[in-house]
Amino acid sequence: MSNPVTRTDAVFLKHFAMLIGFLMIVAVLLIALAVHIYSKNPPPENPDKQKLVEQRIAPVGGVYAGDTGRAAMQAAQEAAAKAAASQVAYGGTTDGKAIFGNLCHSCHETGAGGAPKISDKAVWAPRVAAGIETLIKHATDGYTGKSGVMPAKGGNPALNDAQIKATVEWMVSQVK
């Protein structure tokens, strides 16, 4: 029985194995060089690392008991309300169309919660007749009527009075 691998094939396999071995040694050397270089230059730390850790370990809720707890809970609610009021929605824009497109459209285009659709001018006529100041008051303070519910500031407490006024004026211009 003869050898199934010819002499030229055996030489090729020997040289190929040597080439693969050489490339593996080069790869290991390059990895070792990279580890050596980057061990002297550690990766930069996140400057917000401490803040992120504090957020992860912060308690989810609080326990309030008795009169002291009630006062602490009220103070926490007031602080949260002030924080929400200090933020300005939508970058402070007073473009009524942009605010409508970001917030109001979800109810006033679908009629959700009994909201008058922006496309239904007949439903808007008595509201417009009540006056723009009434509409602004209802948009700012909220409104519960026979036909539906309007949450205060459209459900976004970060809206300021100028933004609400601009949005109501834009909506009224669309339904006239």
For the chain of 176 residues, list the mean pLDDT of each consecutive stretch of 10: 81 96 98 90 85 88 76 84 72 86 90 88 89 91 85 87 91 89
Q: How many CB atoms lie within 10 A of CB 110?
A: 10
Distance of alpha carbon 45 from alpha carbon 35, whole angstroms: 19
| Contact between residue 157 and residue 149 where contact means Cβ atoms under 8 Å apart | no
Element (H, E) at 54: helix 49-57
Quick one: pLDDT at residue 77?
84
Longest dimension (CA), the chain: 109
Quick one: pLDDT at residue 87?
72
Quick one: pLDDT at residue 25?
98
Quick one: pLDDT at residue 72?
83
Quick one: pLDDT at residue 85?
62
Closest CA relative to residue 138, chosen from 109, 168, 114, 159: 168
Distance of alpha carbon 90 from alpha carbon 64, whole angstroms: 35
Burial of 80 from C-beta contacts in 10 A (0-12 / 13-18 / 19+): exposed
